[in-house]
Chains A and B, each alone.
Chain A
Amino acid sequence: MKAIGEFTKGIIKENPVFIMALGLCPALAVSTSVENAIGMGAAATFVLLGSNLIISLIKNFIPAKIRIPCFILVIASFVTIVDMTMHAYLPPLHKSLGIFIPLIVVNCLILSRAEAFASKNGVGLSILDALGMGIGFTLALVIIATFREILGSGTFLNMQILPQSYKPMIVAILPPGAFFTIGLLMGLFNQLKKKNN
């Protein structure tokens, strides 16, 4: 039962973006299209899984004093793996995510999961935690991107869904649109949370 809780908490109750406000930079920067959002979500989930797994395995060997540098090293290695693999096999996606792939290293979501969860829990739970958080992160990105892509380009996953006569609201895919979207969605999440309580 506890295991299921560790998995599902990241998706809604402790959603990394909307509730805990972690990993905001990529959430805003790459959410101009749903395609990018899924790519970024998958990349971050992979790094999260890898780092949680390794850190929960080696946590007993690492002296407390140097644990943060060690975590950062592990995370940076996984990020470089994602970077190179994506560059080789998914070049268009690599190009559109650009600088935000190496910047997964400093995504506070990943370091905070390593510090707050993986360094204190076993391998199994850490993997579930990473999966849940990763899915929650991806979900949040996709939700933001859905609004921005539909309003800003009239498309969803590059398919035209609004009639051609719709004049795209370009501001939605410009930086201000990202801030407005996430602000409104966070307010919505707060409202829902209050109702549930």
Chain B
Amino acid sequence: MATYTASSADVRASVRQYVAGFAALLVLTALTVGASTQLTATGSRATVALGIAGVEAVVALTIFMKLPRARWVVLGSLLLTLVLLIATLALPVLSEGDHIVGTRYRTWDAGVAAPGAARHEESH
């Protein structure tokens, strides 16, 4: 119990950080929604939205989850996970871009409408 009372001052200081983090997350959420309504190009919308989401993740990880104060075991495990995650994300993207010209089936080459497009039109 003694350790609890000894860290009371730290906890009280942390509470102020939590409130600040909460306010920051609300502002960033509003920014994400605002930016998505202003930007029309998918590429720029994706860059801004995911960029802001990244900042939000940093706020949550540092303030609420206190990651910078985590031990090496935690940081090492998360770093390894991050490397594997990047590989997981990169492999399909790389394989998707790796086609021999003319080998990929494209429905519009055969003069057939994409099935998804037809269904989408039906729904409206």
Q: Do A and B interact with each other, yes or no?
A: no
- By a beta-carbon cutoff of 8 Å, the part of chain A in contact with chain B is none
